[in-house]
A and B are shown apart, each in its own frame.
Chain A
């Protein structure tokens, strides 16, 4: 692992629960004094991963249906063994790879990431994965490649949402090459130190935490290095509502709802909204978009 990026959210961050309780008490006290800002931004948002149950029962995986509970209900039927990922386009080492072959020589590491859905909810998820840049390095990106295109498996007989035609499948997504090479972008193979549950995109999926969740395409069967901007399913379904970039941006609303705030899953019926952060709080990706109009390129 190249260690180009160090995770600032670790288990050590979250385990001493008593500490968080204390922080909350301190904050409550500070708020009462009208001096909440004293706590600082790091303390303002105590980050604790969502539970395994939350992460695996509230999903968007339209191949299984559009209800959030459909993936956990139906994903069991998805065949993940054997699994083959086709690598093609402008690469030195094209071919069909198993997950093991794709990750050979790389050590999966834990990444605790915030996950912000375009619908206005969010979670914190402890992924296990490798940096996409390392995989692309192994594959050998050729001169002229400017984008990476991804494709999800389609198994109509195992996927009720595919049968119902909820979207135009296969689900496809894409990243600009420099985005794909950013150390935050990972190919995840597990969460909570368990193999990736099917409803979360087994056996291997993309995770780009500074973008809305739908960019983090699941159950990959194809990775292509291409010259032109590849199609992306939601962008094609409704280009007015979903841009190719889809970076988390509190100041650019979805046409049908505001993106200024979000609700952390797990807070119950009286959970309060919190402010959404630019790039979902991952400011380190800002240089990728320097000079770009992010309202135009939403």
Chain B
């Protein structure tokens, strides 16, 4: 682990004083604000707009969640206390993304199921969502105690396939060549790559 520099120490001192709960409030308000915009003419196609906005926000929180460990390892910045909130916000935004898609966009249960089974990019997105459910359910101290540190970490390793599936889902739905989905994939893969050497060191 890198020795924290002056800036990192300042951030760490600040992080110790600030509680994590405002993140939940921010996430909830941001979700509501996006919904309010969709209701009030942000786009002539607000359903598609909201679906994308929730999906992309989930990817952003996913990037933030996965950045916590490498920040600590390489920069000595310790934001570990915020990681649970960031991870749960990924789940809630994916849930909102799913609900907008199923209820406002597709509008029929049969068609929702048909899409999940038939369309690979939706199957992948659904897979990522399902993998997030056990992670969200175990994001509390009681679960950590029950599973034990090692067991809990093993389960939460699922975050990595979620990241790859989520980015793939985004890439796959584009028509033509779109840069942004590829950027998300690159960032997420980069964040996953920072974990590889640590494993080798740990195994040695």
Alpha-carbon distance between A67 and B45 when the two chains are bound, in angstroms: 12
Alpha-carbon distance between A263 and B46 when the two chains are bound, in angstroms: 11
What chain B residues lie within 8 Å of A266 (beta carbons)?
A: 44
Which 5 pairs from chain A and chain B are nearest by CB? A54-B44, A269-B46, A58-B44, A269-B38, A166-B176
A sample of 12 more A-B contacts (CB under 8 A), given A68-B45, A255-B119, A271-B47, is: A62-B176, A66-B174, A66-B176, A66-B177, A164-B177, A256-B119, A256-B121, A257-B115, A258-B111, A261-B111, A268-B46, A269-B104
Alpha-carbon distance between A266 and B41 when the two chains are bound, in angstroms: 9
What chain A residues lie within 8 Å of B179 (beta carbons)?
A: 164
* Residue interface mask A155-168, B partner, CB < 8 A = 1: 00000000011110
Interface residues of B in 165-182 (CB under 8 A from A): 172-179
Answer whether residue A237 sits at the interface, using C-beta atoms and an 8 A cutoff.
Answer: yes
Partner of B175, one of A66, A69, A164, A268: A66
Interface size on B, residues (CB 8 A): 25
Answer whether residue A73 sits at the interface, using C-beta atoms and an 8 A cutoff.
Answer: no
Report the tally of A-B residue pairs with Cβ distances under 8 A: 57
What chain B residues lie within 8 Å of A268 (beta carbons)?
A: 39, 46
Answer whether residue B85 sits at the interface, using C-beta atoms and an 8 A cutoff.
Answer: no
30 A-B residue pairs with CB within 8 Å: A53-B44, A54-B44, A57-B44, A66-B178, A68-B43, A68-B45, A119-B175, A121-B45, A121-B48, A166-B176, A166-B177, A166-B178, A167-B177, A237-B176, A255-B119, A256-B121, A256-B172, A257-B115, A258-B111, A258-B114, A263-B45, A263-B47, A266-B44, A268-B39, A268-B46, A269-B38, A269-B39, A269-B47, A271-B47, A273-B107
Residues of A whose CB lies within 8 Å of any CB of B are 50, 53-54, 57-58, 62, 66, 68-69, 119, 121, 164-167, 237, 255-258, 261, 263, 265-266, 268-273
Answer whether residue B50 sits at the interface, using C-beta atoms and an 8 A cutoff.
Answer: yes
Alpha-carbon distance between A56 and B121 when the two chains are bound, in angstroms: 30
Alpha-carbon distance between A87 and B122 when the two chains are bound, in angstroms: 44
B97 to chain A, nearest CB (A): 15
Chain A interface mostly helix, strand, loop or mixed?
Answer: loop
Known pairs A258-B111, A258-B114; A58 contacts B177 (CB<8 A)? no
Partner of A269, one of B50, B120, B121, B174: B50
What chain A residues lie within 8 Å of B175 (beta carbons)?
A: 66, 119
What chain B residues lie within 8 Å of A62 (beta carbons)?
A: 176
Alpha-carbon distance between A266 and B177 when the two chains are bound, in angstroms: 27
Known pairs A66-B176, A167-B177, A268-B46; A257 contacts B38 (CB<8 A)? no
What chain A residues lie within 8 Å of B45 (beta carbons)?
A: 58, 68, 121, 263, 265
Partner of A165, one of B44, B46, B173, B177: B177
Known pairs A265-B45, A273-B107; A167 contacts B176 (CB<8 A)? yes
